[in-house]
Amino acid sequence: MTNFDAVHERRGTGSSKWSKYPSDILPMWVADMDFPAAPEIVDAIRNRLEHPILGYGVARDELRARIVADLQSKYSWTIAPGDIVFLPGVEPGFNMALKAMLKPGDGLVVQTPVYRPILNAPGHWDLLRHDAPLRPGQSSYAVDFDSLTAALSKSRALLFCNPQNPTGKVFTAGELGEIAALCEKSDALVISDEIHCDLLFDGRHHIPIATLSEDAANRTITLMAASKTYNIAGLKTAFAIIQNPSIQEKFIQSRLGMVDSVNILGLEATLAAYTSASKWKAAMLAYVEAGRNFLSEQIAARFPNIRLIKAEGTFLAWLDCSEMGLAPDPQTFFLEHGKVGFSAGAEFGEGYANHVRVNFGCPRSLLEDGLNRMENALARR
């Protein structure tokens, strides 16, 4: 079994996370984890390489059947194998969905703060972005239903993210029901990025928004992948679930010539992840949840002016540093004075320049190192 405490050198491996900064900076930004993939997945890739012809691939029936069975057992969601469309990533998936289903000038709702490629996607297709902010509460982020209703009234679609990046919010059944009802009322398409769906804490269960009703199933394009949970994002393999045949047809048309083929090793890895890596997943989740707890406790004890609502899922923490007065902004401050590289809050929407996003999907010693670097930066102020 993987030793999640072990630190693996990733510099020199072409890792985006570890190539961005000079070697004295500890990178805690882009959303991949510093853990080796499950041995079952590595073995599956190795086995595939025993056959040295690496031509274009197609998802095997076995993989479709596995996903169908998985969605049934996890969410009581009944889909057909043909409802699945494979993609080289969730980000290409939501962009293809926007290209297929909306036209320039249409409105699109996003809930801020949000993952930068979601925030920027409307701009790629000349859509008008309408932000519906999530509001920080005592122990969770809340949906501001008034802004969501107002934004939907001007829009053709909602680009939804659950579990949410960067807040780590996991939407409750009640919230999802209300969101689905609002989308039905406004006749809005729902593009639901559920890439973090297997990374939930405290015994929470993910609910795909498409499972809420027949109407929701008919108006939703759901995007999922094994990539975040099993730390295989570099294999660029994901899938859409589209139960409405006319939406699926438009989606497939718009994808042709751009993102129509999928990485063959990614398909093997995805099958192995869903077939034989469940023990690894459980161990990883326990480790990452403990890391989430450790980070929250340490922030509360050592940085009482930083506000942090505990992530309910993902391996990301959203730190509100507004009360600290860190110039010019907390990301630059911690990078320059502490040598730790977080994601800058401004990337996630307007009004978040005083936040940073911290990736805690790493061995505990790296997390401790990151916290110490923050402390040293503040001590030197």
Ligand X SMILES: Cc1ncc(COP(=O)(O)O)c(C=O)c1O
Contact residues: ligand X, CB under 6 A: 31, 89-91, 115, 161, 165, 193, 195, 225, 227, 233, 238
199, two tokens: 């990374």
d(CA 161, CA 22): 32
- Shortest CB 19 distance to ligand X, Å: 16
E strand or H helix that includes residue 186: helix 173-186
332, two tokens: 């630059």
- Shortest CB 168 distance to ligand X, Å: 11
CB closer to ligand X, 57 vs 184: 57
- Shortest CB 318 distance to ligand X, Å: 13
- Shortest CB 11 distance to ligand X, Å: 21
d(CA 260, CA 251): 11
CB closer to ligand X, 315 vs 333: 315
Beta bridge partners of 356: 319, 344
Angle at 205 between CA 204 and CA 209, to 5 degrees: 130
CB closer to ligand X, 122 vs 338: 122
The per-residue DSSP string of 243-296 comes to -SHHHHHHHHHHHTTTS----HHHHHHHHHHHHH-HHHHHHHHHHHHHHHHHHH
d(CA 270, CA 231): 11
E strand or H helix that includes residue 27: strand 26-27
Other CB atoms within 10 Å distance of the CB of residue 350: 11
Query: Residue with CB nearest ligand X?
Result: 89
CB closer to ligand X, 133 vs 166: 166
CB closer to ligand X, 158 vs 377: 158
CB closer to ligand X, 94 vs 333: 94
- Shortest CB 35 distance to ligand X, Å: 16
d(CA 86, CA 271): 13
- Shortest CB 145 distance to ligand X, Å: 22
E strand or H helix that includes residue 119: helix 116-124
CB closer to ligand X, 32 vs 320: 32
- Shortest CB 286 distance to ligand X, Å: 21
CB closer to ligand X, 95 vs 298: 95
Q: For 2-29, give one letter per residue: b (16+ CB within 10 A) or e.
A: bebeeeeeeeeeebebbeeeeeebbbbb
